[in-house]
Structure 1
Amino acid sequence: MSKESIPRGEYPRPEAKRDNWTCLNGRWDFEFDPENKGLREKWHLGPDLGNKILVPFVFQSRASGIDSKALVETVWYAREFELKKESKASRETLLHFGGVDYETDVFIDGLHACHHEGGCTPFTVPLSAFLDGNGREKHWLVLRVKDPPFSRDIPRGKQTTEMKMAGARYERCTGIWQSVWLEQVNDVYLDRETAFIRANPWTGDVTAYIRPAGKHDANLVIEATVRDEKMQQVSETSFMFVNASLGGFLSQRRLEMNVDVDAVIPWSPSNPTMYSVVFRLIDGDSDEEDVLDELECSFGFRTIEVKDNHVLLNHESLYLKQVLYQGYWPDGLWTAPSDEAIQQDLQLAASMGFNCLRLHQKVEDPRLLFHADRMGMLLWGEMANSWSNSYNSHKNLLVEWLNVVRRDRNHPSIITWVPYNESWGTGDLNLPENQEWLKSVYRATKYLDPTRPVVDNDGWEHVLTDICTIHDYSPPDEFARHYPIEKPGDVSTFLSNLHLNRHLFAPGCMSRNEPIMITEWGGWAQNLDDPNAKSDMFACWGYQGIIYKDFNDILDMYGQIIDALIERKSWIAGHCYTEFCDYFQEMNGLLTFDRRPKGDLRKVKNINDQL
């Protein structure tokens, strides 16, 4: 397969990039293992798999070339890869997986190299221990992937756990769904997972954290500089020493830099200026100060906070005009067909007058976050939830969620974290033990990233949250009656008494005067290709069970609720419309599933621009 024809061949992790990399996307061998016999028959030793699949698309997708809806728990992948000859000077090869759903065993030349659980987050396999001394230039990479189709303990978001899709439950996504790639590095290198950059637009101070990884017995120096969008150095160089006698522990915990505050351009939707920290790992025992690794990590100067019932971006009040975005694609399911398609979705949202996507029940492709940073589209980052309240479901979610926060916390476009939606997987929040669990997830998120607001449980039954979010799918007249035009004198009592689907706060929990947002509303369905379609959970579904024939009717209701929100703008800080586009049988999008507008999007923008 030529380089030009490799699917999703762009660099997969652009916010923290290295130059020396090889994409492994393309045609792989593939096989279903419904009898779970692959290990017994030692498929990992000499795979002779009968199918072909186009990576990084899951077998349930048309883009994969298989397009099967088989309810199979275990599948196998295999391909040969060749290390570049010039990489022999490098002593370590890193094998990266952007996302494999759900449980993965990796084999290299028949040897078990890694076990990973989690379908939403990346993982990396250092290969030197499996490649050294075997005399080969070509190697076999084999994956065994297990994804129980009916498990409710797995954080799978909107993937159905039933026999077929219905309502707001969508197609399963099993196996590789993000890019696979190799990077050649030295035997000691910079650990991307530990990179965290905090930048203050009012002082120009930049604080960066990163650690080395791999094997080393040398003293190391980590050097960092700040560069602007033109890659011009705009800070002094900061150094951090890693003492070999301490087993790699840092003798200084962070790198401190400063950019002339008069030259700092704060990141905002109207001016999304990006900077980068270039980290260099240097051999401290070498007279030549050999550079062992270099990693360029992007960031923006901006602050986000909640204060006095408002969300403040760079100390200025921010009204959020969000649209719900679930990130499925007709041909690729969880995987966008191209990098250009991702950019087009962001452009479409902006063309309708939205300034924020509420990423919903899916951890998004890093390329979307990268483009949102540069296009000025705000994002709420949300975890895919499981559907049970058990020890395993809690463990699975927390481990993955914290890795999500680590992966994405350098993106200025992400302004809010949302670990749970509508109590999915929390258990009965009337019970103190389940409330404590939700509080612990909130606190763990704040520990990893104290710079952003956290919504504990979007929609209702909050226990400890920085924004009070409400889901209200009422028709316009009823919607307006729920919320007085003037801010209630006792907001906490008002919210405690507002009972839509469930109570907004769990028993014993109260509002702390946080900002209030209506983060789901609308949901009005239209089947553009069949105007006479009837409401059907399996074929054509929307909220309230109504399928509208004319998009102008939806626009009229949309405008009525926006008018109501305008009147209440003094105390309701934002909203989120359901939703960006149709998904399978859920047809309440402003666009069809294949991103065709259902009407004049300029009219949507004109209404949104009133806020």
Structure 2
Amino acid sequence: MRNQMTLSGQWDFKIDPLNKGETELWHKGIGESEIITVPHIWQQDEKYLDYKGAAWYQKRIDDVSCSDENELFICFQAVDYQADVWWNGNKIGSHEGGFTPFEFRINKDLIEEKNSLIVRVYDPADNAEIPIGKQGSWYTRVSGIWQDVFIEERPAPYISEVFLTPIVDEERLELSFLLEGETNDQSITGFHYSIAPHSLGLEKWSQGEHFSGTVLMEDIKVENHKVTCHIKVPGIKVWEPSLPYLYELKISLLEGSKDSSTTTFGFRKIEQHNNELYLNNEKIFIRGALDQAFYPDTIYIADSDETIIKEIELAKEMGFNLLRKHIKVELPRYLYWADRLGMLIWAEPPNYVKWTPQARRRFIQGLKDMITRDYNHPSIIIWSVYNEEWGLEWDLDNDKEKQAHVQQSYELVKKWDPTRLVCDNSGWSHIQTDINDYHRYFVLPEQHNQWKEDVHSHIIGEPDKNFVPGFQSDNEPQIVSEFGVWGLPDVDKLKSFYNGAEPWWFVNQGEQTHQDDYKRPSTLFQNFDKFGISKAFQNYEKLAVLSQRRMFRATKALIEEMRKQSEMAGYVVTEFTDIEWETNGWLDFMREPKEGFENLIDFNGANGIFAELPTHNYWQGDLVSIDLFLLADLKREEPAQVKWSIVKENQEEVQSGESELLVSHNLTTHKNAIEFEVPEIEKPVFFWLKLELFVNGVRVAKNEEELTFTPSLEIEDLNMFVDVKDENFKNTLMEAGFSQPQEEISNSSTIISDYLDDKLLNHAKKGGQVIFLAEEGDKIKEKSMYTFRKLDLGESWARASSMNYVDKEWFGDLPLRTEMGWEFEGMFPDYVIPFTDYKKNSNNRTIHMFGNPSIAESADVISGYFQGWLGQNGGTLIEQKYGEGKILTTTWKIKESLSSSPIAQYILKGMIHNLSQKKVTVKE
């Protein structure tokens, strides 16, 4: 083993805002300074949170020794961004690149009894041509000596850049390494190698085959100091997530040098063909999470191995088998534990912003450095090059130069590492890729039909459309590598983590494109008591619980739709943890589980039982037929038992059944697997369909679906009048019993209308009630004082942060959820009444539109809409006084859903009752 002296620990630190350090010769001593601890991200100190530019570090080192035949190197694991290094006032090197290791040789003539190491770090404010990832663009910036530093003594020559390439089908390893340093005419005759078990998960693993041997240089080819040979390893165990056998290779040079090198590795292969992924020749389905690896206090580094282990174990508990390390070169220790615990990794380099030759040069160098450093990690199965054209200025479809660059980059990565899969431009238009991946953001249940259509038509149906025009798919595996919805954290819990203070990132640390109100945590405090939000949610804790419950419901439906498709090769959900203001994590920022954690594996595990429901809402007496989709981690198809039951909220079972069906690791579809008649009930209520899958008597999967059952609607004399322009809807109202012949309208009557003109306003002014069904928004020709905001109807990252909410108490004991779940299926609005300003995109232009907060201030907001941290507010059901009467305006799709949704009919009846002050009594 080489002798090492760690330099992590206390250093002197001093910022240089006027950039005068070099002029004033700070490399000879930085003078008055403060003491910090390396690894050091200077943004961790709030007084340097916004500091950009130069800073100086100094370390005093005694007792540095080195034998005459060896050499000394100063080794930095990562410095962001540019580093200039002096030893005892003598410059020994410069480096740029913020994520990967570099080193400089220390001339032994420079070593004194007492030594001074000085590093100038420069992280410029104008970083558009620097690979940065999301630090400083979306989240808090990272600057400084942010990974370990050490001095290492090495013989001459010494071993570097050891690469191990498993050739699984032939049970052999390709081994290559470089011989570097002065040889002093000493002859290296060969090397000895030994391979021994290293670990299996958390346990040390000593059993298994050991391999060793001696390789003579005369028997192999050596080119440009690079040694390459093949080692036979018969019987070696393969590495896979369920059994992550990790081995340790030690190389020792013979004669001429005493150097040795130790590397861990796993014996595995990854490949794709015929639209599927294979790990060690076995088909694998990716169940992944995007992981940006920011932390609530240490920003960009995990504080301990225990933290890393906990994260990976939590990921496995949630059913994940892969983490996509998003535009960040991950910490070596994290990758080591991914190897050891069996977590697959999709690695991705940090992006730059501005398309220039210098930016591209830096990016490609950083990409190569990442691959060089991490080549031997078996957990890494995919390299990305670009993400969503970041750095390509979102013009790949039209720019031939950029297309050529992306294709060349793909080919470069394949040359550097032909053993792994490469994704050229994750999520967006592809040129040449091993993975045809998509980034698709939908919010469910609101966009359930659009999501199904997108999966079937856009993704599965037309893979070529995910390529730049002129390029086409070659049957690559299809993966949705980004999707997901938000679930807000408990802000009081966050403050508690920060000792009662508001986190620095409550003021969004991103650049201008991330300063929308819904991306700022501080917006929550400004808006919670407005727009009916506090009335619906009562307090921050309940807001967090219901927001997370809504997130669970949406994510479950998103994932299950993909898992029902045999053509899909996997998915990567956004994301593993919350990151500062972005709260779509399955864990919160402190790595604590959100609501529903214990049930995530029901739809995200290797085994699964999924139901295809015609709807979630039924009339009593309906005959219900449900298809089932089954998965089990089995080597072959086997019989399985499916048990189902219909239960009430108190878990009382009202119906049940079971059947024997076939199941395997391939998706099996069973039509009409469950059939039942909805029982008679007294009032609309929630029920649950419970599902269980048993193999050989052991339950391997469970799941459940939310349902409502509703008795026939009875319409008494409601003193109402229908005045709608939509004749089809008028007929629907009549069939449902709402439309009743009336000779005249009294001043106290309630009028249902799909428009709002002076006649209806005068009716309200005289003491009448008007229910304005405004679901068609700005398409309505007569809508009086109302303006509407049309929500994004298709794929939308912004809308994926949104929530529809309702003050359910207003409707009494109807089965409604504050966070509006499947009971509103078919009723979710496409329009809202905007209370706050918003942006509208048209013809690639952004148009600023205006909201009207005074409406919310003067109305009773019964139901509303917000995005993210309670921004972008709008109303979807509001009650206003107008003269002596009232106007109830809703954008819920009552017209569209009345004939198909039992709950919609009861909701309309409730609106009529409440508006005429015959409010239903709330039942506890």
The TM-score, its normalising length taken from structure 1, stands at 0.86
**Which one of 71, 75, 87 corresponds to residue 51 of structure 2?**
71
Q: Does 1:115 align with 2:86?
A: no
Query: Does the residue aligned with 1:594 lie in a helix, a strand or coil?
Result: coil
Paired residue total: 552
Counterpart for residue 445 of structure 1: 413
Are the equivalent residues in 1 in contact too, given 2:79–2:145 (CA < 8 A)? yes
Task: Determine the C-alpha separation between the residues in 1 that align with 2:523 and 2:192.
Answer: 55
Shift of 1:234: 2.3
Q: State the one-letter code of the partner of 1:516.
A: Q
Q: Give, in whole Å, the separation in 1 of the partners of 2:409 and 2:216.
A: 32
Which ranges of structure 1 fall in alignment gaps of 5 or more residues?
1-17, 162-168, 285-290, 498-503
- Tell me what 1:539 maps to: 521
Displacement of 1:406: 0.7
The aligned counterpart of 1:309 is 275
Decide whether aligned partners of structure 1 residues 135 and 599 sit closer, same or farther in structure 2, where only a CA change above 3 A counts.
closer
- Residue aligned with 2:193, SS: strand
1:23, CA displacement in angstroms?
1.6
Indicate conservation of the 8 Å contact 1:99/1:178, yes or no. Answer: yes
2:213 aligned residue: 237
User: Which residue in the other structure is 1:602 paired with?
Assistant: 598
- 2:180 aligned with 1:201: no
Q: Does 1:214 align with 2:176?
A: no
Single out whichever of 426-435 and 30-39 deviates more from structure 2.
426-435
Distance 2:31 2:70 in 1: 31
Distance 1:104 1:371 in 2: 29
1:588 partner amino acid:
N
Q: Is the 8 A contact 1:525 1:541 kept in 2?
A: no
The alpha-carbon deviation at position 61 of structure 1 amounts to: 1.2
- Could you say if the C-alpha distance between residues 135 and 482 of structure 1 is closer, same or farther in structure 2, counting changes exceeding 3 Å? closer
**5 Å matches for 1:241-320?**
241=217, 249-250=224-225, 253-260=227-234, 263-284=235-256, 291-320=257-286
Q: How far 1:89 moved relative to its partner?
A: 5.5
- Check the 8 A contact 2:486/2:548 in 1, yes or no: no
Matched with 1:39 is: 22
Secondary structure (helix, strand or coil) at the match of 2:51 reads coil
Instruction: Report SS of the residue matched to 1:48.
Output: coil
CA deviations on 1:67-89 (whole Å, 9 max, x unpaired) are: 5213331111110123455x436
Amino acid at match of 2:121: V
Call closer, same or farther: CA 1:347–1:152 in 2, change over 3 Å: same
Structure 2 residue aligned with 1:393, among 348, 351, 359? 359
Mapped to 2, the partners of 1:159 and 1:506 lie a distance apart of 29
1:359 Cα deviation after fit:
0.4
CA, structure 1 residues 540+204, in 2 after alignment: closer, same or farther (shift >3 Å)? farther
Identify the residue that residue 507 of structure 1 maps to in structure 2: 469
Unaligned runs of 5+ in 2: 199-205, 494-505, 507-515, 525-532, 534-542, 609-630, 632-924
What do the CA deviations read for 1:568-607 (whole angstroms, capped 9, x no partner)? 1x11100011111111111111222111222232111222
Please tell me whether the aligned partners of residues 100 and 366 of structure 2 are also in contact (alpha carbons under 8 angstroms). yes
Aligned match of 2:295: 329
The C-alpha deviation readout for 1:383-415, integer Å capped at 9, x for no partner, is: 010111111110110011001001111100000
The equivalent position to 1:224 in structure 2, one of 159, 181, 193, is 193
State which of 587, 590, 599 in structure 1 corresponds to 2:586: 590
Contact kept, 8 Å, 2:162 with 2:175, in 1: the verdict is: yes
**Partner letter of residue 211 of structure 1?**
L
Q: Cα–Cα, structure 1 residues 530 and 247, in superposed 2: closer, same or farther, change >3 Å? A: closer
Q: Residue 586 of structure 2 aligns to a residue in which SS?
A: coil
| 1:287-328 deviation per Cα after TM superposition (whole angstroms, max 9, x unaligned) | xxxx52111111111110011111100001110000110011
> What aligned pairs does 1:392-471 form with structure 2 within 5 A after superposition?
392-427=358-393, 428-429=395-396, 430-471=398-439
Contact 2:14 2:30 in 1 (8 A): no
Q: 1:247 to 1:561 in 2, by over 3 A?
A: closer
- Partner residue of 2:159? 190
Q: Show the counterpart of 2:683.
A: none
Per-residue Cα deviation, 1:505-550 (whole angstroms, up to 9, x for no partner): 112111111000000001323132269x9962222799xxx99743
Q: Give yes or no for contact 1:30–1:78 (8 Å, CA) kept in 2.
A: yes
Structure 2 residue aligned with 1:523: 485
| Contact 2:192–2:212 (Cα < 8 Å) also in 1 | no
- Contact 2:484-2:555 at 8 Å conserved across structures: yes
CA distance in 2, matches of 1:322, 1:335: 21
Counterpart position of 2:116: 140
> Does structure 2 retain, via aligned residues, the 8 Å contact 1:219–1:242?
no
CA contact (8 A) 1:540 1:585 kept: no
The structure with the greater share of residues assigned to strand is 2
Whole-Å Cα distance in 2 between the matches of residues 238 and 463 of structure 1?
45
Residue of structure 2 equivalent to 1:567: 564
What is the TM-score of this pair, normalised by structure 2? 0.57
State how far apart, in whole Å, the 1-side matches of 2:329 and 2:229 are. 29
The aligned counterpart of 1:10 is: none
Q: Which amino acid aligns with 1:96?
A: C
Q: How high is the sequence identity, in percent, across the aligned residues?
A: 32
Does the CA-based 8 Å contact 1:205-1:257 persist in structure 2? yes
Larger relative contact order, structure 1 or 2 (CA cutoff 8 Å, min sep 6): 1
- Tell me what 2:33 maps to: 50
Distance 1:76 1:247, change over 3 A: farther
In the alignment, the residues of structure 1 paired with residue 222 and residue 568 of structure 2 have an alpha-carbon distance, to the nearest angstrom, of 52
Give yes or no for the alignment of 1:176 onto 2:145: yes
Deviation at 1:222, TM superposition (A): 3.2
Native 8 Å contact 1:487 1:571 kept in 2: no
Alignment partner, residue 11 of structure 1: none
1:81 matched residue in structure 2: 61
Label 1:93 to 1:470 Cα distance change in 2 as closer, same or farther (>3 A): same
Superposed CA deviations along residues 399-439 of structure 1, whole A, max 9, x for unmatched, are 11001001111100000001210000024212111000011
Query: Which sits farther off after the overlay, 507-516 or 232-241?
Result: 232-241
**Residues of 2 paired with 1:511 and 1:160: CA distance?**
35
| 1:530–1:461 CA distance, 2 compared to 1 (3 A) | farther
Other-structure match for 2:554: 557
CA distance in 1, matches of 2:580, 2:28: 40
Q: CA deviation at 1:247?
A: 11
Matched position secondary structure for 1:527: coil
| 1:298 partner SS | strand
